[in-house]
Structure 1
Amino acid sequence: MSGTSQATIGARSDTTGRVPPPSRLPSLTGLRFVAAVLVFATHVTWNTSLVEGPYGAGIRQAFSLSGAYGVGFFFLLSGFVLTWTARPDDPAPRFWRRRLVKIYPSHLVTFLAAGALLVAAARPVATVDWLSNLFLLHAWFPRLETSTSMNGVSWSLSCELFFYLCFPLLYRLLGQIRESRLWVAVGVVVALIVGAALTARFLVSDQPRLEIFFLDGSYSFTQVWFVYFFPPVRALEFVLGILLARVVLAGRWPALGLLPAAGVAVAGYVAALYLPYLFGTGGVASMWTAPLIASAAVADWERRRSPLRGPVAVRLGELSFAFYLVHLMVVMIGGQVIGLDRRFPPLVGFALILVLLAVSLALSWLLYRCVEDPLVRRFSRPSTDTNGRVSGSARRWWVPGSAASDRRAARR
């Protein structure tokens, strides 16, 4: 194969004169928390009515799609980071084990918590909802009650699990694309993403109409599910992230600074608010975040100034997965305690929102420290033989001679 070999996808050619790509991208870690807060903003403004008057209506409209935008960012980011840190000789079972340890224990804890809350509230849950959610299969069901069952945000983990299962094969296949044709491949994936939205709009039945959140009966849930929940369609964003990482590693990303890239992401979100729903959410909207991901990676690689690289931003980013899993339950319980129909003056309402944010952060820290971090450290380490030596296949994955590298890679 000309252009690039499978063995050099994760490494930059020495002829470029630049330093090798860093193993960690702290700016992207910082961005993870920004995306998680965008998801929180949608849920807290649409599941409660804490701020009265035009201020409340304004923030509800402003953040109506921020949750979808944040989730799409995570899908792109997953493909990007996994490709950035991948090793072609890493066995697929070990990769799957690391990813499962990363997401499933925290999912199980929040699944049990959500189940306990539903039982306490005497809310009936169908057996298919319990089982499909437990095994992260619920996003495959074109049924609102199933796709959003239990802990409502966990549907995205169903998509992520599908991405992880496909990644070893995708990594090999997409690794065969010549560097000179990477942008063509990006264009093909973008066309497929737009095509998915067009398919949902014109080929998927719009009956029965769905009236929920801000959809005002314009679409059926099947249309929304196809664009927003269906794992193979959302996998297009994951693939776009893989290709984006290859573009950056190949030195073919244009010189776009972090601030202009952030401007593109903000402008894309504003545009999404005025587009038809199927084109303002899912993959079509997620594409606007691609320049920000690539530019943040380049900023870390070239050690440019980045406000997302600070220790507080990185720590919050490390908590983002746990925060994502716990925040909706906090919002729902907080709304019940405060009163779903109660409205407050802006200052009081915003203060209550900050309280819910703080409680979510505290619980996410607890979930991260007690479940996610220790299990990742324990089960993502390279295997050793009976004499305590790292096995040959494991040595090929880990950066040799560095315990710190082992710990960093274990968190990926």
Structure 2
Amino acid sequence: METDRNMRERRASLPIENTRPDRLDTLTGLRFVAALLVFLYHSFREQHLVTGGTGSWLASMVDRGGSYGVGFFFVLSGYVLTWSFRPGTPSGLFLRRRLGKIFPNHLVTLIAALALAATGSAALTTTDWLPSLGLLQSWWADPVVTSAGNPVSWSLSCELFFYLCFPLLLPLINRIPPRLLWTATAVVAGLCAVLALAARYLVTDQPPLPYPGFESMSFDQVWVVYYFPPSRLLEFVLGILLARLVLTGRWVRIGMLPAAALALVGYAVSSESAYLLGVGGLATLWVAPLIAEAATADRLGSPSALRGRVWRRLGELSFAFYMVHYLVLTELRRALGEQWTAPVPVELLVALLALAVSLALAWVLYEAVERPVTARVGRRLRPAGALT
């Protein structure tokens, strides 16, 4: 009987097109890890569910968790779309599937956010949240507009821009000769660094942000690096290039564990870096090898701790979880009161309760909205122009 090792070696010797799996379960599991980083950031850094010295320590540990998780999603999006794309796919079908993936969850959580804001007597005008309705809020250099409605949906504003660009970007990147793919990847990495430095030294730092720890920068600087869709497009392009490197056999394997260690080192480096250098594309570069290695492990059938049914299920719920968790946390904090404190074990239990409630609501949103709508819009359209 053929051993697992022999099977992996045989698969590795085959052309990649012949061993490209439809599912990338390890990457699906990693999606939940990224979403969990965002949850931890909002729980301990923004909502301060744990107070005192322990709370300060937790807040410092997850200080860049939100930006790291979002950056991971942006690279992953470019990678997965390129990996799963098949020549001849109608552009109309592609865009229909992408919009069907993000808009239903977005609209449901936006309605919920506006309803909760109204019950809390929040001062939110129509002009504040209206750009969010069409996922256009990240194009506004205004902190009120970018965070209006369901604040986490700003990243979907970027994703929508990526999806619209993908039919144009993929044919261009496919024309890059395989021998030049690493050069193109290095150029994108360099542009991420240039962007971060330009935001820090060329964009005005006035007026300063009125938040502790952010007084040395303006929202314009943060917006250029973090929210502006063309800036974040660099990470999406990085994901496309990574997929091309793997598909053309140009990716140099380092193994899952070293790639994971590199991502952890990158998180530590970004945490110690100045804000404008420690968020956005420059910080996201550290997770790129992990994405490529995880996909390669799935292709070869290599052992993976994140390929089990539980991790796969959590990964499937990750988008819905991402969309509901902030609403749960803000409502929980409002119910507790700004001055609420308790012994650390109790505060941690409250954080776990918030996680459990978020996952439960994510399951409802996934089963009632995301999965049925995604299945419906995935049906093939009649005629449309091909992507390539």
TM interval, shorter chain, is over 0.9
1:375 aligns with 2:373: yes
Evaluate the alpha carbon distance shift between residue 19 and residue 87 of structure 1 in structure 2; reply closer, same or farther with a 3 A threshold: closer
Range that drifts further, 113-122 or 180-189 = 113-122
Matches within 5 A, 1:299-314: 299-314=297-312
Question: Which residue number corresponds to residue 274 of structure 1?
Answer: 272
Matches within 5 A, 1:73-112: 73-112=72-111
Q: Cα distance, 1:14 vs. partner? A: 8.4
Alpha-carbon distance between aligned partners in 2 of 1:363 and 1:94, rounded to the nearest angstrom? 29
How many corresponding residue pairs?
377
Residue pair 2:43, 2:351 contacting (<8 A) in 1 also: yes
Question: Which residue number corresponds to residue 231 of structure 2?
Answer: 233
Q: Cα distance, 1:49 vs. partner? A: 2.9
Alpha-carbon distance between aligned partners in 2 of 1:194 and 1:83, rounded to the nearest angstrom? 24
Alpha-carbon distance between aligned partners in 2 of 1:95 and 1:30, rounded to the nearest angstrom? 24
CA RMSD of aligned residues (A): 1.9
Question: Which residue number corresponds to residue 140 of structure 1?
Answer: 139
Q: Cα distance, 1:46 vs. partner? A: 2.4
What code does the residue aligned with 1:381 have? R
Question: Which residue number corresponds to residue 47 of structure 1?
Answer: 46
Alpha-carbon distance between aligned partners in 2 of 1:81 and 1:317, rounded to the nearest angstrom? 14
Gaps of 5+ in 1: 1-11, 384-390, 398-412
Alpha-carbon distance between aligned partners in 2 of 1:47 and 1:13, rounded to the nearest angstrom? 45
The SS at the match of 2:33 is: helix
The SS at the match of 2:19 is: coil
1:173 aligns with 2:172: yes
1:249 aligns with 2:247: yes
Evaluate the alpha carbon distance shift between residue 17 and residue 237 of structure 1 in structure 2; reply closer, same or farther with a 3 A threshold: closer
Range that drifts further, 339-348 or 267-276 = 339-348
Residue pair 1:162, 1:231 contacting (<8 A) in 2 also: yes
Q: Cα distance, 1:271 vs. partner? A: 0.6
Alpha-carbon distance between aligned partners in 2 of 1:13 and 1:61, rounded to the nearest angstrom? 42
What code does the residue aligned with 1:125 have? L
Residue pair 1:75, 1:238 contacting (<8 A) in 2 also: yes
What code does the residue aligned with 2:77 have? S
Q: Cα distance, 1:216 vs. partner? A: 3.2
The SS at the match of 1:209 is: coil
Evaluate the alpha carbon distance shift between residue 178 and residue 114 of structure 1 in structure 2; reply closer, same or farther with a 3 A threshold: same
TM-score, with length taken from structure 2: 0.93
Residue pair 1:208, 1:220 contacting (<8 A) in 2 also: yes
Alpha-carbon distance between aligned partners in 2 of 1:13 and 1:357, rounded to the nearest angstrom? 39
Alpha-carbon distance between aligned partners in 2 of 1:374 and 1:190, rounded to the nearest angstrom? 38
Alpha-carbon distance between aligned partners in 2 of 1:159 and 1:113, rounded to the nearest angstrom? 21
Gaps of 5+ in 2: 1-10
What code does the residue aligned with 2:255 have? G
1:211 aligns with 2:210: yes
Residue pair 2:270, 2:283 contacting (<8 A) in 1 also: yes
- 1:160-203 deviation line (CA, Å, top 9, x unaligned): 00000000100111110000000000011001111110110111
The SS at the match of 1:142 is: coil
Runs of 4+ displaced beyond 4 Å: 12-19, 391-394
Residue pair 1:35, 1:70 contacting (<8 A) in 2 also: yes
Q: Cα distance, 1:211 vs. partner? A: 3.0
Alpha-carbon distance between aligned partners in 2 of 1:215 and 1:134, rounded to the nearest angstrom? 31
Alpha-carbon distance between aligned partners in 2 of 1:233 and 1:27, rounded to the nearest angstrom? 28
Matches within 5 A, 1:4-403: 16=15, 19-212=18-211, 215-383=213-381
Evaluate the alpha carbon distance shift between residue 393 and residue 151 of structure 1 in structure 2; reply closer, same or farther with a 3 A threshold: closer
What code does the residue aligned with 1:234 have? R
Q: Cα distance, 1:251 vs. partner? A: 1.1
The SS at the match of 1:319 is: helix
Q: Cα distance, 1:393 vs. partner? A: 7.6
Residue pair 2:16, 2:249 contacting (<8 A) in 1 also: no
TM-score, with length taken from structure 1: 0.88
Alpha-carbon distance between aligned partners in 1 of 2:352 and 2:174, rounded to the nearest angstrom? 45
What code does the residue aligned with 1:351 have? L
Q: Cα distance, 1:126 vs. partner? A: 2.7
Residue pair 2:24, 2:295 contacting (<8 A) in 1 also: yes
The SS at the match of 1:210 is: coil
Alpha-carbon distance between aligned partners in 2 of 1:96 and 1:338, rounded to the nearest angstrom? 42
Q: Cα distance, 1:346 vs. partner? A: 2.0
What code does the residue aligned with 1:72 have? G
